[in-house]
Amino acid sequence: MTTYESLLAAVTTDGDGREVLDPATGERIGTAPVVDTAAVGDAVARAAAAQPAWAALGHAERSALLHRAADAVEASSEALAEILSREQGKPLNGPNARFEVGACAAWLRVTADTPTPTQVVVDDGTDFAELHYRPIGVVGAITPWNWPMMIAIWQLAPALRMGNTVVAKPSQYTLLSGLALVEVLNTVLPADVLIAVPGSGELGAALVTDPAVGKIMFTGSTATGKKIIEASAGNVTRLTLELGGNDAGIVLPDVDPKAIAEQLFWGAFINTGQTCAALKRLYVHDDVYDAVCEALVDVAGAMPMGVGLDEANVLGPLQNAMQFDVVDRLVEAAKASGARVLLGGDPERTQPGHFYPATLVADIDPANALVVEEQFGPALPIIRYSDLDDAIALANGLDVGLGASVWSADRDRAREVAARIQAGTVWINSHGGVHPMIPFGGVKQSGYGLEFGAEGLKAVAVPQVVNG
């Protein structure tokens, strides 16, 4: 069993690199190694050289190795969770660090067992055609800092399963988490099948423009996604982009506010709000508005926030000062506009750590910046509505569409409303839950391409028709 100390030692350096500080305490964790752009080219060349043999193993052997990789993750789960908690800030408990590491193992196993998406398209006695999905070659995986291990597995597992090799570029804010995961996986995988390149954003740019990279998978901001589209055009590189979101929830007047309050809370505040598909703006019918607000205050006020290694906490700090400043700016603007703060909104600015309290803001203008800009943190605006058509129009009024939710005691009615919402996923009476067999992706400027299940396997492969 890998210990925290041994795994940390394996992914830190005594030389030059990026100093890593605990976002909850400001304490130094260690120094993460960083490489230059020349190392990216070398990594891509090594991955390209290893790819034919990896593809030749076949689906059965690759799937067996993914199961062994899941075993390795589980054997190192506490060490991985502690590194993740200390570097990213999320607590060990709740839907946080241990949950994330567990999801890594689960996604590896389900991806390994998902049937190959081969399809007979014509077989009429005269013609026969079969659609196969072949490896692309080298896949570049560029991952964010909010779920640095789980989202990495979302990219790595299907790419490897389909016979590609992977060069992974973890976020510069969570280098140790990304390197630790790759370190554990590489105790099982053949050499150069998975290579990590730690460093700043310039490494991602080098990966995107390398002509030997056949596919880029990216999770991050819409602005960066647009740069990737432009940079990849010269090589016609295939892309899967999961970009920014500003998910809306619509609460219909037939709900029981107390019954839905905890689900609403976690839909918005999972990972302290630092989740692409978190509930970020909540539209509540006037008939139940006050009761929903009251129920949310009761739930949110009872959730302990603090240092992630404290087993009692379920909310942690924001991962970095940049994100703290975004949330702080938006909440202060909402307060200045006359919106009513029901809970929170008053961070302790003299203590260490990027802690922003769970914040609920009511009676806010639908056009307020806290509503129309993605806050990516623990601050939820609650907007009152009386006409459902108006609420749907507001939900659809932004240029993003990753997820959304509808809350109602009448599931059929909720599905009717869901059909009118412009989002890649619409949840009913929950928000943000993902499943390794259910396709996930955005619309509008939230990106394109699907992940998970058979659709996710197709996305990291090239289609080939065998005709005859």
The CB-side HSE value for 109 (13 A sphere, CA atoms) comes to 12
Residue 242 designated active-site: yes
Tokens of 345: 């909104």
Pick the catalytic residue: 82, 100, 276, 293?
276
d(CA 451, CA 448): 10
Report whether 23 contacts 356 (CB < 8 A).
Answer: no
d(CA 389, CA 375): 25
Instruction: Give the sign of the dihedral formed by CA 233, CA 239, CA 245, CA 247.
Output: positive
Determine the 3-state secondary structure of 298 from DSSP: helix
Report whether 78 contacts 142 (CB < 8 A).
Answer: no
Report whether 131 contacts 463 (CB < 8 A).
Answer: yes
Q: Exposed, middle or buried: residue 419 (CB in 10 Å: 0-12, 13-18, 19+)?
A: exposed
Residue 466 phi/psi, 5-degree rounding, is -100, 110
Residue 276 designated active-site: yes
Pick the catalytic residue: 74, 100, 242, 451?
242
Q: In sequence order, what are the residues at sequence separation of 6 or more whose Cβ sits closer than 8 angstroms to the Cβ of residue 105?
A: 70, 73, 74, 77
Tokens of 200: 């700043």
d(CA 305, CA 94): 11
Catalytic residues: 242, 276
